[in-house]
């Protein structure tokens, strides 16, 4: 047996095994982990030999010696030399500056004095690479992180599990106190799927992504003006969203979030939620579902008053009219809007639906019967001997057309005008954008943890990452010079900023491009970045 064929200890990390039909097991080493063009995690692997089935050791090939810098003749490690090498440093330097701007560094150091550096490193990694933590070692290889020690996926799991409920609660209290912003708060819920059977709160429920898996429900508050996350809570996947809102409102007061207006989805319109808001002096804005009798009545009574020149809202190209109303015994303000563009869209969509239903009716036999979905648009005679006879209910269709283009927003705040209310409500898409960032860009659509404590800790680090990402997105979009850039494009450009370590161990940074300087300017960061 030659020295080259002599078994060596199997590397402990970054190895995968691929068994062949003849029983031979080839060993591959991950030399690079990255994301492909579709944003999916992938890696480059190199075969480094075969597994010795008797001892479990590695029978190496030439690649093994090249990768691990081992002398083939002596089987000893080659002497270390101090090479010139480069690491990406732009992303981490910028993210640290953003963490200071937002107050995250100040808040985290108060609440997590012994682990805030590791927490920020994990959050930075999630922003740059997603939340598949098994590749964080590779990220440390190519990225300059000078504020904490090197981490691997096991270190990450230990960190996640170490973050207690008391620590998270303390953070939220300090974070809310630090912000001290009086702004409209948007509340909404999303679900995160999981394969694990060991997460206590993962249960079957209404899954918004149509994922056939147990889920965790995530309720989150966002500031409409700041576009930044304020607070979140995880709860059982089987609990209905509208049932949990009351608990979240009481929790909000306990954390010190006061003088806010909740902008909530129409699904949360219940008598219990309205009563809870009145008891705790919360103001709110919500859409009144179009199918409710109150909606039809308010439109019928007030539509003649809505389409008046004095009610035109230029910014949103709609008419808006305010009138008092009552729902569940609460004195509310109904803001009735008429949108000409919406009416054209609704009428076109309705007749497309009628044509489809007409085709369905033509195929229904008498024995099968007619369901209620046809009653709004057709007069149906199913008393005949053979086929079902029907005709358009033109009178009812005309009544529906007369109501199209209208929608109603409810509020218990009398001081808000119809202009104010629609502006606040239209800005609520901030929560949809933030959920999209969290689930797709930060890769939290599915949990990849297997235990409750690590899941809760990882979600918290994801929340930290979302604060940083949301803040940066807002700054980039507010600046006319960078509003055309996606967040991903800006981060790729910053990633090109490198720190070069020279043979004498001194460091020098690559000169900044014009675009890199523009991005830094939009983020209120000095171009005089320092890698030390």
Q: What is the mean pLDDT of residues 208-232?
A: 70
Q: What is the mean pLDDT of residues 14-33?
A: 89
Given this model, what pLDDT does residue 91 score? 93
CA torsion through residues 208, 209, 215, 217, sign: negative
Could you tell me the pLDDT band of residue 180, with boundaries at 50, 70 and 90? Answer: low
Residue 506 has pLDDT above 60, yes or no: yes
CA atoms in the 13 A half-sphere facing the CB of 212: 0
Given this model, what pLDDT does residue 522 score? 95
Closest listed residue to residue 338, CA positions, set 366, 358, 308, 359: 308
Q: What is the mean pLDDT of residues 85-104?
A: 91
Given this model, what pLDDT does residue 191 score? 64
User: Which helix (H) or strand (E) segment is 357 a member of?
Assistant: helix 340-363
Q: What is the mean pLDDT of residues 104-118?
A: 94
Given this model, what pLDDT does residue 189 score? 72
Top-ranked range on mean pLDDT: pick from 104-118, 262-276, 393-407: 104-118
User: Token pair of 391, please?
Assistant: 């005709």
- Among the residue ranges 180-189, 268-277, 348-357, 478-487, the one predicted with the least confidence is 180-189
Residue 303 has pLDDT above 70, yes or no: yes
- Among the residue ranges 162-166, 244-248, 482-486, the one predicted with the least confidence is 244-248
Residue 89 has pLDDT above 80, yes or no: yes
Residue 202 has pLDDT above 60, yes or no: no
Closest listed residue to residue 470, CA positions, set 146, 159, 104: 104
**Which residue is associated with the tokens 């190209």?**
317
**CA of residue 197 relative to chain centroid, distance:** 23
Residue ranges of domains in the chain: 3-80, 167-339+407-447, 341-404
Per the CB < 8 A criterion, the answer to whether 191 and 205 are in contact is: yes
Residue 438 has pLDDT above 80, yes or no: no
Q: What is the mean pLDDT of residues 8-36?
A: 87
Instruction: Give residue-wise pLDDT tens across range 313-336.
Output: 998 899 999 999 988 888 889 999
- Among the residue ranges 79-88, 345-354, 442-451, 455-464, the one predicted with the least confidence is 442-451
Residue 42 has pLDDT above 50, yes or no: yes
Residue 198 has pLDDT above 70, yes or no: no
Q: How far is CA 494 from CA 328, 469, 491, 510, in A?
A: 54, 14, 5, 11
Given this model, what pLDDT does residue 250 score? 72
- Among the residue ranges 226-240, 273-287, 492-506, the one predicted with the least confidence is 226-240
Neighbours of 319 (CB within 10 A): 23
Q: What is the mean pLDDT of residues 109-121?
A: 95
Given this model, what pLDDT does residue 291 score? 76
Could you tell me the pLDDT band of residue 40, with boundaries at 50, 70 and 90? Answer: confident
Could you tell me the pLDDT band of residue 493, with boundaries at 50, 70 and 90? Answer: very high
Neighbours of 431 (CB within 10 A): 23
Enter the CATH code of domain 167-339+407-447: 3.90.350.10
Residue 220 has pLDDT above 70, yes or no: yes
Given this model, what pLDDT does residue 28 score? 93
Q: Is the pTM of this model over 0.85?
A: no
- Among the residue ranges 164-173, 234-243, 338-347, 365-374, the one predicted with the least confidence is 234-243
Could you tell me the pLDDT band of residue 187, with boundaries at 50, 70 and 90? Answer: confident
Residue 427 has pLDDT above 80, yes or no: no
Given this model, what pLDDT does residue 418 score? 93
Residue 1 has pLDDT above 50, yes or no: no
Given this model, what pLDDT does residue 433 score? 66
Given this model, what pLDDT does residue 484 score? 93
d(CA 186, CA 227) in angstroms, rounded, equals 10
Pairing type for strands 261-264 and 283-287 reads parallel
Find the angle CA(406)-CA(410)-CA(411) to the nearest 5 degrees. Answer: 145
Could you tell me the pLDDT band of residue 530, with boundaries at 50, 70 and 90? Answer: low
- Among the residue ranges 304-318, 335-349, 504-518, the one predicted with the least confidence is 504-518
d(CA 488, CA 357) in angstroms, rounded, equals 44
Given this model, what pLDDT does residue 107 score? 94
d(CA 133, CA 358) in angstroms, rounded, equals 54
Residue 439 has pLDDT above 60, yes or no: no
CA torsion through residues 114, 116, 121, 125, sign: positive
Given this model, what pLDDT does residue 201 score? 47
Instruction: Give residue-wise pLDDT tens across range 328-367.
Output: 888 889 999 999 998 999 899 999 998 988 888 777 765 5
Neighbours of 361 (CB within 10 A): 17
Given this model, what pLDDT does residue 235 score? 61
Percent of the chain scored above 70 by pLDDT?
Answer: 79
Q: Which residue has the higher pLDDT, 70 or 121?
A: 121
């Amino acid at each position: 047996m030659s020295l080259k064929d002599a078994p060596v200890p199997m590397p402990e990390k970054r190895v995968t095994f691929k068994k062949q039909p003849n029983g031979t097991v080839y060993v591959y080493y991950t030399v690079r982990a990255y994301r492909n063009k579709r944003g999916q995690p992938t890696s480059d692997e190199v075969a480094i030999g075969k597994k010795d089935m008797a001892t479990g050791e590695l029978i190496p090939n030439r690649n093994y010696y090249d990768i691990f810098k081992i002398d083939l003749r002596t089987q000893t490690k080659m002497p270390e030399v101090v090479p010139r090498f480069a690491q990406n440093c732009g992303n981490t330097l910028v993210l640290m500056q953003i963490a200071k701007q937002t107050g995250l560094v100040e808040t985290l150091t108060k609440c997590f004095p012994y682990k805030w550096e590791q927490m920020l490193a994990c959050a930075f990694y999630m922003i740059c690479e997603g939340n598949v933590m098994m590749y964080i070692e590779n990220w440390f290889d190519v990225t300059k992180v000078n504020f904490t020690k090197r981490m691997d996926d096991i270190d990450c799991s230990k960190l996640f599990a170490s973050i207690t409920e008391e620590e998270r609660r303390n953070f939220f209290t300090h974070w809310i106190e630090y912000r001290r912003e009086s702004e409209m708060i948007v509340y909404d819920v999303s679900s995160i799927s999981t394969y694990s059977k060991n997460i206590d709160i993962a249960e079957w429920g209404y899954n918004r992504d149509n994922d056939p898996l147990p889920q965790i429900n995530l309720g989150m508050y966002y500031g409409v003006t700041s576009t930044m996350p304020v607070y979140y809570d995880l709860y059982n996947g089987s609990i209905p969203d509208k049932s949990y809102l009351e608990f979240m409102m009481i929790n909000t007061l306990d954390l010190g979030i006061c003088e806010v207006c909740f902008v909530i989805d129409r699904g949360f319109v219940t008598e219990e939620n309205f009563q809870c808001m009145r008891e705790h002096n919360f103001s709110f804005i919500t859409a009144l579902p179009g199918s409710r009798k109150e909606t039809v009545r308010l439109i019928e009574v007030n539509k003649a008053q809505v389409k008046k020149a004095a009610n035109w809202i230029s910014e949103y190209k709609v008419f808006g009219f305010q009138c008092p109303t009552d729902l569940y015994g609460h004195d509310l303000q109904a803001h009735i809007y008429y949108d000409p563009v919406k009416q054209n869209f609704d009428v076109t969509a309705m007749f497309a639906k009628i044509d489809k239903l007409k085709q369905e009716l033509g195929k229904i036999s008498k024995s099968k019967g007619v369901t209620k979905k046809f009653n709004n648009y057709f007069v149906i005679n199913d008393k005949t001997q053979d086929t079902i006879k029907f005709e358009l209910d033109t009178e009812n269709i005309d009544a529906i057309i007369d109501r199209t283009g209208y929608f109603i927003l409810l509020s218990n705040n009398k001081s808000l005008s119809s202009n104010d209310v629609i502006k606040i409500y239209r800005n609520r898409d901030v929560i949809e954008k933030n959920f999209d960032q969290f689930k797709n860009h930060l890769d939290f659509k599915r949990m990849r943890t297997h235990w409750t404590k690590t899941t809760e800790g990882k979600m918290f680090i994801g929340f930290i990452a979302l604060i940083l990402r949301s803040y940066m997105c807002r700054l980039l979009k507010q600046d006319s010079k960078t509003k055309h850039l996606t967040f991903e494009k800006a981060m790729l450009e910053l990633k090109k900023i490198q720190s070069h370590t020279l043979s004498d161990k001194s460091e020098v940074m690559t000169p900044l491009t014009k675009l890199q300087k523009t991005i830094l300017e939009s983020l209120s960061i000095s171009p005089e970045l320092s890698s030390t």
